[in-house]
Amino acid sequence: MSKILIVDDDKEYRENLKEILDNAGYPNDMAGSAKQAMQKLGDQQFDVVLLDFMMPGIDGINALGEFKKISPNSKIIMITAFASIENAVIAIKKGASEYISKPFKIEALLLMIKQVIEELRFEGNIKKLKLEGTLSSLSNSIRREIIRLFQTSKKIRLMETARKLDIEDHTKLIFHLKTLRAAKILRQDMKHAYMLTKEGKKVLECLNILDNYLSDK
């Protein structure tokens, strides 16, 4: 079972998160500051880190880069009370895998943890198949599902994508679409519909290869 580190300066909030993880069966540990978290990351292996966006001393954003230096394979989920595209972009650039806004449903957090753990497995399989260069931007499960929509559609639109993938947080979806555009996997036409680029078509082909590989296991 994957081990999770909770990093939050609020003791009551840390303990609430610990109870959620305990009930879900995840081994976990807690840190009340970024400095304490860095010590724990240096001593133990954590698959996932739940990191509060705003903390005294070294805040969550500044801690992100340090955490990734110490434990580059750990998946970091930012917990924030200020959800925005700007904050999401900053967090992802610093090394976060996901972010979730307070207040959140327990089920939403557990689903996100499950998804980032799947990212770890996905990345491991990419290395086995030597597809790192082509699929590195697709370790995130939402971005993979966006790409899979092009198996049956030549173009997709924002609201259609949100409906098909059952995503209520349009801010998050826009962020993932922008990420795919930045990676030159998607482009937009004059009517703002999204389409695969030439590289994107190659990525979809490789994603299908990986799916077939995993289905044979």
Select, from the ranges 92-106, 109-123, 162-176, the one with the highest average predicted confidence (pLDDT): 162-176
3-state secondary structure of 212: helix
What digits encode the pLDDT tens for the residues 39-52? 999 999 999 999 99
3-state secondary structure of 51: strand
What digits encode the pLDDT tens for the residues 2-30? 899 999 999 999 999 999 999 999 999 99
Distances (CA, A) of 204 to 4, 132, 199: 32, 14, 9
Q: pTM of the entire structure? A: 0.67
Q: Which residue shows structure tokens 């434990």?
A: 71
Domain boundaries, the chain: 4-117, 130-215
Residue 77's DSSP bridge partners are 50, 98
3-state secondary structure of 78: strand
92-115: average pLDDT: 89
What digits encode the pLDDT tens for the residues 152-196? 999 999 999 999 999 988 888 999 999 899 888 999 999 999 999
pLDDT of residue 136: 61
3-state secondary structure of 88: helix
- The answer to whether 155 and 189 are in contact (CB under 8 A) is yes
Give just the sign of the alpha carbon dihedral 131, 137, 142, 144.
negative
pLDDT of residue 46: 96
Architecture of the 4-117 domain: 3-Layer(aba) Sandwich (3.40)
Architecture of the 130-215 domain: Orthogonal Bundle (1.10)
